[in-house]
Every structure is written in C-alpha cells, then in structure tokens.
Amino acid sequence: MTEQDGTAADLYGGRRLREPDALIRRAGLRGDPDQDQHFLVDDRVLDRVPTYLPDDADTSHLLEVGAGTGALTDRLLAVGDHVTVVERDVRLVEFLRREFADDIEAGTLSVLEGDALEVDLPDFTACVANLPYGISSEITFRLLPEGKPLVLMFQKEFAERMAAAPATDEYGRLSVSAQHYADVEVVEPVPPTAFSPPPAVDSAVVRTTPRAPDYEVDDPEFFLDFVKGMFTQRRKTLRNGIRNTTHITGISDAAAVVEAVDAHDEDLLRKRAGKLAPAQFAELAAIAADVEHRAGDGADDD
C-alpha cells in the first residue's frame, strides 16, 4: 500500500484501488454498530466478493446497497460499466461524492441518498453489497423478485437459513421463500475481523442466481403467505397448520381446504412444514387457492 495517497500498489481490473483503512480515515467517520455500520476492510475478501457474480452476469449496471466509505464501490467500478450506490447516511453520501468525484463526472458512478427500502431503485443488472444486517430480510425480498443475480453479505446464520435444504434444522420460511426466486449458495464465510468495527457475529457471502421454479404458482403473494403460515406452526402437522393460520393465509374455509388436500394426498396432512420441499408447498397452496376460488364463485352465484 502507498500510505500517502491510500491506494493499493496492485491494479484490480485495471483500476488502482483505494486502501480501505485510508478511506475510513479520509471520511473521518468510524462505523457505528448502533446504526448497523460495519465497514468491510479486508482487502482479500473485498477482492473476492465481485468475482462471485455468475460468469454470464450482465455487469453493465451494478447496484450496491450500503456503500459505506466506498471500498467495495471501488472494486465494482473496476468490473462494471456503471455503478449505482444507495447510502442513507448523509455524511457518507457527501464523502462518496467527494472521494469518487472523477467517477461521477465520468458518468460511471451514481450516488443515491436514501433508505434502500424506500427509494426508487434503478434498473440494475446485478447487485453486489455488504448489507446492513438489520434490513437483510426486507431488502433481500425487495431485490429477489427483480430476477437479477445478487451477491450479498449477511449474518452467517441468516445466510445458512437462506440456502438450507428441506429436513435440516436451518430450513424454514426464509429457505422456501428465497429459493422460490433463485438458486441460493453460501460462497464464503467471513470472520468478524474482516470488518471495522468487528460485528458480534460471523458473516457469509451469498450468491443468488435467478431462475424460474420447477413448479407453477399462479398467485405468488398467496403462496408466500401460505408458506409463512405453515412455518409459524412448524411443530404441528399441516392439518393443524392449515386450520390454525387463517389469519395469515387468508383462507376462509380451512376445513374445506383440509378436506381437499386429504382427497388429493392424505399423507401430506401428516407431515410438518420442515419436511416439505418448495414444490410441495406450491402443490398445497394451489389446492387451497382452488378451494377458495370455488367458494368465491359459489358466493357470487348466491
């Protein structure tokens, strides 16, 4: 590293990189755990993160959520044609606009101030980000329906639950919901020492590769609500889960749904949510939706 200008001696994708600790010094700001700010400072991890994008990923417009002081931004500018960063801390926004003024002037970087859960996101082609862990679930399920490749840093426990297979301890609503949209892989564990300040938990990088599910879902909102309902009753059989969660699923006649599922496959009703693959949830949700639809048609006839 060259201490005077805080840039790395080696090039990354033809770009001379800034040194992460030097960025923090120039910003004059320390990460604030109370604000979910843990800046990724390990050069080796930073260098690897963009490489986890799928080989065929379109990098013409990369999105970064929670840019911090710009260490990952620097690397994304080396691999993408254009980068948009979203940052809610106005002090960091001002720093990024000063620090990366040349990239902004060149038209390769846009700095968007605001909460990533509320701002209008650009039409990005892929997202690479060290997410604030407090909004992991909300931002992930804002991004996944866009059908774009994602490489995201999460708390390790959250990452493992996203990628979990049926009948494992980690498998749950998060697993089914995430895997409905994409193939999910944990590609690298990351220790607390890779961050400044170090978080109290281990982290992990997750890659999601979008693909259509191998089952059909006519009403995604109902399907996801159904999955949510069944996992709130994960220790009970699906027979009881369907009956006990109408306030979540919106099912108006649970008894009729149970009867229809029983006629279709009585063994399903004896299972618990943690044993079902996403396709089986889709099968159950389709039966429930069909019962609701027929009940609605009957009410209209009356």
180 is annotated as contributing to ligand binding: no
Instruction: Report d(CA 85, CA 26) in Å as an integer.
Output: 19
Closest by Cα among 84, 95, 71 to 21: 71
Q: Which two tokens stand for residue 41?
A: 């400072």
Instruction: Report d(CA 125, CA 115) in Å as an integer.
Output: 20
253 is annotated as contributing to ligand binding: no
pTM comes to 0.90
**What local confidence, expressed as pLDDT, does residue 9 receive?**
44
**What local confidence, expressed as pLDDT, does residue 300 receive?**
52
Please give the domain boundaries of the chain with CATH numbers for all domains.
7-210 (3.40.50.150), 220-301 (1.10.8)
87 is annotated as contributing to ligand binding: yes
Pick the range with the lowest mean pLDDT from 253-257, 271-275, 290-294.
290-294
**What whole-number percentage of the chain has pLDDT above 90?**
86
76 is annotated as contributing to ligand binding: no
Q: Which two tokens stand for residue 263?
A: 């006629």
63 is annotated as contributing to ligand binding: no
Overall average pLDDT of the 8-19 stretch? 80
* Residues 236/241/244/247 CA torsion (nearest 10 deg): 140
40 is annotated as contributing to ligand binding: yes
Overall average pLDDT of the 61-87 stretch? 97
Overall average pLDDT of the 78-87 stretch? 97
**What local confidence, expressed as pLDDT, does residue 8 receive?**
47
Overall average pLDDT of the 202-225 stretch? 95
> Higher-confidence residue: 297 or 12?
12
